[in-house]
Protein backbone atom coordinates (compact mmCIF):
# COMPACT_ATOMS: atom_id res chain seq x y z
CA UNK A 1 0.00 0.00 0.00
CA UNK A 2 1.34 3.35 -0.93
CA UNK A 3 1.47 6.35 1.38
CA UNK A 4 -1.22 8.33 -0.43
CA UNK A 5 -3.81 5.60 0.05
CA UNK A 6 -2.91 5.24 3.74
CA UNK A 7 -3.33 8.98 4.27
CA UNK A 8 -6.72 8.97 2.55
CA UNK A 9 -7.96 6.06 4.71
CA UNK A 10 -6.72 7.74 7.92
CA UNK A 11 -8.31 11.04 6.87
CA UNK A 12 -11.62 9.33 6.13
CA UNK A 13 -11.56 7.62 9.56
CA UNK A 14 -10.85 10.94 11.30
CA UNK A 15 -13.77 12.59 9.49
CA UNK A 16 -16.10 9.72 10.47
CA UNK A 17 -15.04 9.97 14.15
CA UNK A 18 -15.55 13.75 14.16
CA UNK A 19 -18.97 13.32 12.56
CA UNK A 20 -19.96 10.71 15.18
CA UNK A 21 -18.92 13.05 18.00
CA UNK A 22 -20.29 16.38 16.76
CA UNK A 23 -23.45 15.48 14.81
CA UNK A 24 -25.45 14.47 17.91
CA UNK A 25 -24.50 17.80 19.48
CA UNK A 26 -25.71 19.78 16.50
CA UNK A 27 -28.88 17.83 15.78
CA UNK A 28 -31.17 16.78 18.59
CA UNK A 29 -32.41 13.32 17.67
CA UNK A 30 -34.50 12.91 20.83
CA UNK A 31 -38.11 13.98 20.93
CA UNK A 32 -38.68 17.33 22.56
CA UNK A 33 -39.19 17.00 26.31
CA UNK A 34 -42.17 18.79 27.74
CA UNK A 35 -41.72 20.10 31.27
CA UNK A 36 -44.83 20.69 33.34
CA UNK A 37 -44.37 24.06 35.01
CA UNK A 38 -47.73 24.22 36.73
CA UNK A 39 -47.64 24.46 40.52
CA UNK A 40 -48.20 21.32 42.55
CA UNK A 41 -48.88 23.30 45.74
CA UNK A 42 -52.50 23.00 46.91
CA UNK A 43 -54.48 26.22 47.34
CA UNK A 44 -54.38 27.97 50.69
CA UNK A 45 -57.06 26.60 53.05
CA UNK A 46 -59.75 28.92 54.31
CA UNK A 47 -59.58 28.94 58.10
CA UNK A 48 -62.41 30.51 60.02
CA UNK A 49 -61.42 32.35 63.20
CA UNK A 50 -62.40 30.63 66.43
CA UNK A 51 -63.97 32.68 69.18
CA UNK A 52 -63.42 31.57 72.76
CA UNK A 53 -66.00 32.54 75.35
CA UNK A 54 -64.86 34.32 78.50
CA UNK A 55 -64.69 31.96 81.50
CA UNK A 56 -67.46 32.31 84.05
CA UNK A 57 -66.82 31.98 87.75
CA UNK A 58 -69.08 29.27 89.23
CA UNK A 59 -71.67 30.78 91.54
CA UNK A 60 -72.26 27.68 93.68
CA UNK A 61 -68.74 27.58 95.17
CA UNK A 62 -68.14 29.35 98.48
CA UNK A 63 -64.73 31.00 98.65
CA UNK A 64 -63.26 31.44 102.15
CA UNK A 65 -62.88 34.97 103.44
CA UNK A 66 -59.23 34.25 104.32
CA UNK A 67 -58.46 33.96 100.63
CA UNK A 68 -59.14 37.66 100.11
CA UNK A 69 -57.07 38.53 103.17
CA UNK A 70 -54.15 36.51 101.90
CA UNK A 71 -53.57 39.02 99.14
CA UNK A 72 -53.95 42.09 101.33
CA UNK A 73 -50.86 43.43 103.05
CA UNK A 74 -51.06 44.62 106.65
CA UNK A 75 -48.54 47.40 106.18
CA UNK A 76 -47.92 49.57 103.23
CA UNK A 77 -44.46 49.93 101.75
CA UNK A 78 -44.05 53.47 103.06
CA UNK A 79 -44.78 52.33 106.62
CA UNK A 80 -42.12 49.63 106.40
CA UNK A 81 -39.57 52.08 104.99
CA UNK A 82 -40.36 54.51 107.82
CA UNK A 83 -39.74 51.80 110.43
CA UNK A 84 -36.39 50.94 108.85
CA UNK A 85 -35.34 54.59 108.81
CA UNK A 86 -36.36 54.99 112.47
CA UNK A 87 -34.33 51.94 113.47
CA UNK A 88 -31.25 53.36 111.77
CA UNK A 89 -31.63 56.70 113.59
CA UNK A 90 -31.81 55.16 117.06
CA UNK A 91 -28.58 55.56 119.05
CA UNK A 92 -26.54 52.40 119.48
CA UNK A 93 -27.93 50.67 116.41
CA UNK A 94 -25.09 51.06 113.95
CA UNK A 95 -24.51 48.73 111.07
CA UNK A 96 -21.47 47.25 112.79
CA UNK A 97 -23.51 46.33 115.89
CA UNK A 98 -26.25 44.85 113.74
CA UNK A 99 -23.67 42.79 111.89
CA UNK A 100 -22.25 41.51 115.20
CA UNK A 101 -25.71 40.53 116.40
CA UNK A 102 -26.27 38.32 113.40
CA UNK A 103 -24.95 34.82 113.86
CA UNK A 104 -22.46 33.70 111.24
CA UNK A 105 -23.89 31.08 108.95
CA UNK A 106 -22.17 27.74 109.10
CA UNK A 107 -21.25 26.53 105.66
CA UNK A 108 -21.39 22.86 104.96
CA UNK A 109 -17.90 21.60 104.41
CA UNK A 110 -17.50 19.29 101.45
CA UNK A 111 -17.36 15.63 102.27
CA UNK A 112 -13.89 14.17 102.42
CA UNK A 113 -13.23 12.13 99.29
CA UNK A 114 -13.71 8.38 99.47
CA UNK A 115 -10.54 6.32 99.55
CA UNK A 116 -9.75 3.56 97.09
CA UNK A 117 -8.19 0.20 97.91
CA UNK A 118 -4.73 1.78 97.78
CA UNK A 119 -5.81 4.43 100.38
CA UNK A 120 -5.81 7.08 97.66
CA UNK A 121 -8.72 9.46 97.13
CA UNK A 122 -11.08 8.38 94.37
CA UNK A 123 -10.78 10.52 91.30
CA UNK A 124 -12.91 11.15 88.24
CA UNK A 125 -11.74 11.51 84.65
CA UNK A 126 -13.56 12.53 81.50
CA UNK A 127 -12.97 10.39 78.41
CA UNK A 128 -13.24 12.90 75.58
CA UNK A 129 -12.48 10.63 72.65
CA UNK A 130 -10.98 7.41 71.32
CA UNK A 131 -8.87 7.44 68.15
CA UNK A 132 -7.15 4.89 65.95
CA UNK A 133 -4.46 7.37 64.98
CA UNK A 134 -2.19 8.66 67.73
CA UNK A 135 -1.64 11.96 65.89
CA UNK A 136 -5.35 12.85 66.09
CA UNK A 137 -5.42 11.99 69.79
CA UNK A 138 -2.35 14.15 70.37
CA UNK A 139 -3.93 17.08 68.49
CA UNK A 140 -7.01 16.92 70.73
CA UNK A 141 -4.81 16.73 73.85
CA UNK A 142 -2.92 19.84 72.76
CA UNK A 143 -6.17 21.69 72.02
CA UNK A 144 -7.55 20.77 75.47
CA UNK A 145 -4.33 21.84 77.20
CA UNK A 146 -4.37 25.22 75.42
CA UNK A 147 -7.95 25.68 76.66
CA UNK A 148 -6.79 25.11 80.25
CA UNK A 149 -7.75 21.47 80.85
CA UNK A 150 -5.45 18.82 82.34
CA UNK A 151 -5.51 16.45 79.37
CA UNK A 152 -3.54 13.33 78.52
CA UNK A 153 -3.78 10.26 76.31
CA UNK A 154 -3.40 6.55 76.97
CA UNK A 155 -3.28 3.52 74.75
CA UNK A 156 -6.41 1.44 75.29
CA UNK A 157 -6.38 -2.17 76.43
CA UNK A 158 -7.39 -3.07 72.90
CA UNK A 159 -4.17 -2.29 71.12
CA UNK A 160 -4.32 0.28 68.39
CA UNK A 161 -6.74 2.74 70.06
CA UNK A 162 -5.66 5.91 71.82
CA UNK A 163 -8.02 7.49 74.34
CA UNK A 164 -7.97 11.13 75.40
CA UNK A 165 -8.77 11.94 79.04
CA UNK A 166 -9.23 15.14 81.06
CA UNK A 167 -8.60 15.10 84.80
CA UNK A 168 -8.44 13.56 87.32
CA UNK A 169 -10.73 15.53 89.64
CA UNK A 170 -11.41 14.47 93.22
CA UNK A 171 -14.78 16.23 93.29
CA UNK A 172 -17.39 14.53 91.09
CA UNK A 173 -19.43 17.75 90.79
CA UNK A 174 -16.44 19.62 89.37
CA UNK A 175 -15.79 16.77 86.95
CA UNK A 176 -19.43 16.85 85.79
CA UNK A 177 -19.22 20.62 85.25
CA UNK A 178 -16.05 20.18 83.17
CA UNK A 179 -17.78 17.39 81.22
CA UNK A 180 -20.70 19.66 80.32
CA UNK A 181 -18.31 22.44 79.27
CA UNK A 182 -16.26 20.06 77.10
CA UNK A 183 -19.37 18.50 75.51
CA UNK A 184 -20.70 21.93 74.59
CA UNK A 185 -17.36 23.43 73.48
CA UNK A 186 -16.05 20.50 71.41
CA UNK A 187 -19.45 19.04 70.37
CA UNK A 188 -18.64 15.57 71.71
CA UNK A 189 -20.43 13.11 73.99
CA UNK A 190 -17.81 12.44 76.66
CA UNK A 191 -17.88 9.81 79.40
CA UNK A 192 -17.36 10.37 83.15
CA UNK A 193 -15.27 7.49 84.52
CA UNK A 194 -13.50 6.60 87.76
CA UNK A 195 -9.80 7.32 87.59
CA UNK A 196 -7.58 4.26 87.35
CA UNK A 197 -3.90 4.84 88.03
| Domains of the chain and any CATH numbers | 124-194 (3.30.70.1070)
pLDDT of residue 33: 73
pLDDT of residue 16: 96
- pLDDT of 66-88, one tens digit each? 666 665 655 566 676 777 777 77
pLDDT of residue 151: 82
Query: Cβ(190)–Cβ(183) under 8 Å?
Result: yes
In this prediction the pTM is 0.40
- pLDDT of 94-150, one tens digit each? 555 555 555 555 455 555 556 555 556 678 888 888 778 778 788 888 888 888 888
pLDDT of residue 181: 84
- pLDDT of 16-33, one tens digit each? 999 998 887 777 666 677
Amino acid sequence: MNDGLKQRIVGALVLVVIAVIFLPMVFNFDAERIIDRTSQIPPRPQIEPVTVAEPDRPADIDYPAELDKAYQFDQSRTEVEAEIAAAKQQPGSSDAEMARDEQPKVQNEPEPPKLSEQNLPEGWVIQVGSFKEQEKAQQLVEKLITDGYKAYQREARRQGYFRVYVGPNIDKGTAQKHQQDIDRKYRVKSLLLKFES
